[in-house]
Chain A
């Protein structure tokens, strides 16, 4: 039995003896991925706590627990942490690191030391973000909660005039953006250079396609927000007047620049998630994926079109009518490649031998929730409807159905799917299924009432509301309670599985892609024993059994 990557590692420099330092300095892509996951989910729970605080406050009209200003800070904290610290590094940083090199038969990413550096850049960004939470008063040693109250969008001119800690938050977002760029760069070079011999682009697993499309967005959209934040800082200190209308600036330009990044960013989140879906559906239907090429190319198409639609966030901001019409028109186009993917997945399941294990349950649940999230998105792409629905709970519900019910659900699906690969152990299937049902019910109870409340006119980011919206907030509250309980139970189940789950074989799901053909589970330090020659498609099943088999030297034996 060879040693797994939990026992051995390569370090960025030196040969430290202690296990702790070995983890801190590791350049091994699998270890880095795990460290990302630990940090990200810690912040995830911070943001969940902020959201739950807001739900408590909104249970009844009027003020109960926190005042209006703290409420503004709470939703900013929730947004900033969820977006910049959790979901943007998200699936690429965790599974892009752990699984992508395995899938293409590489020993590591192209620039392992850069990968190590990127992780620590991300940590620096997290620390700067945390430092913006409080103001430290040296005189009496007190900490005052003074997080930004602008919302995660930092819209000018308010963000330039508020006294809260916007500056440090902007710097944090800039650093995290750089980390994101370097991750994308590393993955692009890896996918272009390190594919196993014989694996052309149309023999790559679809998750790798998702990561590839994502990496382009990380690379080419993130610099725009970086420079926007720098301009905002210069504006704040020198009064150049770039974004402040009192000084001749145009706040609409800030929104343009902000959304040029932040809209592609949502595709940056969803594309690798779709990649996970494309892995799980064929593996648990025991059937070759339907329309491989259309799924692969639709990822590229979503990334491409995703650059061109940012203006639909500006329909009520005073953009010119001509631009509005163009953006509305372009936005509809995003729905086409997304729809193609959905039909392909459903067609894959048709006449398949469907096995309802936990990863498959998550994937199926996501088909429902993301369909609601995606289609409600098409409704608000229409200018007329958007004038009514912009900045209401309808938009909030749409966003969370797409991001939580799409990205995070598929993230969870991926965690359950690759859990045995990473740890070599299995969680309790029954408990994990129970956690799924709890989360699914809680999720719909939490967000669906918001569609109705928003349609009836409940604005977002409001601390208080009219009595007629009481019932919707109450249902949402109970949904939130169920959801958070399910979340805690799910992580409890996973940690239990990690500690004392049953050991598994390297390929417990009978899946076909290369990461399931490793010599041991958890995988050894430099992945596959030998690099295979890839002359097969990624999802070949025959009568419900994988077609491609390897001997211990990664030679095909079928």
Chain B
């Protein structure tokens, strides 16, 4: 509803006036709503980490062995890429809030670029895995195909969780393109930037999930192995 909303006034018995909060243009409400949505993401990934930890407890040595086979270089590159994309996103929002719309758009494009780099690196990594016989649905990833239960579970969860994370990155790129469209049509502006704020929050959440996904899968089996 785009029409300008004039807040209502409620009058108490002493005649004092109180501004009524309407649902239109409710900045704090929009922020709260988006945070609540992000909490559902936290619970969703929380449940997946729980599944993962459950089997880490049951198949401890297998998990460490499987983890040491992942490509830490590519994973590390992606970590840094995502870190910088969080910076550009944050600076973009800052520029938007300080009135520099052009700078904000540049920063969003930069974030999209970094997100694409992340996906490219990820695709390369999965291709390498595929050639080593590690991918969902391959015969070598079935029970009795040469790998232990723990290794199959580790790699299965690895593809599930990094895949879901990658899916969030794709959604994020879509959201940022939509945001650019809204900025161009003037619906998001320095005075009315809740959408930009929430998409920046979303991007930070995607980063936040990676902060745990990365060490869990890549670093558990790094360095000196203690069974």
Contact = CB atoms under 8 A, between A and B. Distances in A.
Given A185-B40, A219-B40, 8 more contacts: A194-B22, A194-B23, A224-B46, A238-B137, A238-B141, A239-B142, A247-B143, A531-B8
B175 to A, nearest CB: 16
Contact of A530 (B1, B10, B136): B10
Interface in B138-192: 141-143, 148-150, 152-153, 156-157, 160
Chain A, interface residues (CB within 8 Å), range? 35 or more
Contacts, number: 144
A519 to B, nearest CB: 15
Given A240-B156, A241-B153, A253-B51, A185 B23 contact: no
A554 B13 CA distance: 11
A28 B143 CA distance: 54
A175 to B, nearest CB: 14
Contact of A189 (B32, B47, B50): B32
A531 to B, nearest CB: 5
Given A197-B18, A247-B149, A253-B54, A220 B39 contact: yes
Nearest to B160: A234
Contacts of A260: 47
B51 A241 contact: no
Contact of B36 (A106, A185, A238): A185
Interface in A193-241: 193-194, 196-198, 219-224, 226-228, 231, 234, 237-241
Given A110-B23, A242-B51, A530 B8 contact: yes
Contacts of B100: none
Nearest to A235: B156
A249 interface: yes
Contacts of A231: 48, 51, 160
B6 interface: no
A184 to B, nearest CB: 8
> Secondary structure of the B side of the interface?
helix
A106 B39 CA distance: 25
A556 B55 CA distance: 63
A248 B40 contact: no
A260 B191 CA distance: 42
Contacts of B153: 240-242, 248-249
A493 B149 CA distance: 60
B12 interface: yes
B205 to A, nearest CB: 13
Contacts of A108: 23
B225 interface: no
Given A189-B29, A219-B39, A224 B47 contact: yes
A268 interface: no
Of the listed residues A107, A239, A555, the one surrounded by the most CB atoms of chain B closer than 10 A to its CB is A239
B160 A226 contact: no
A112 B33 CA distance: 13
A532 B10 contact: yes
B29 A257 contact: no
A227 B44 contact: yes
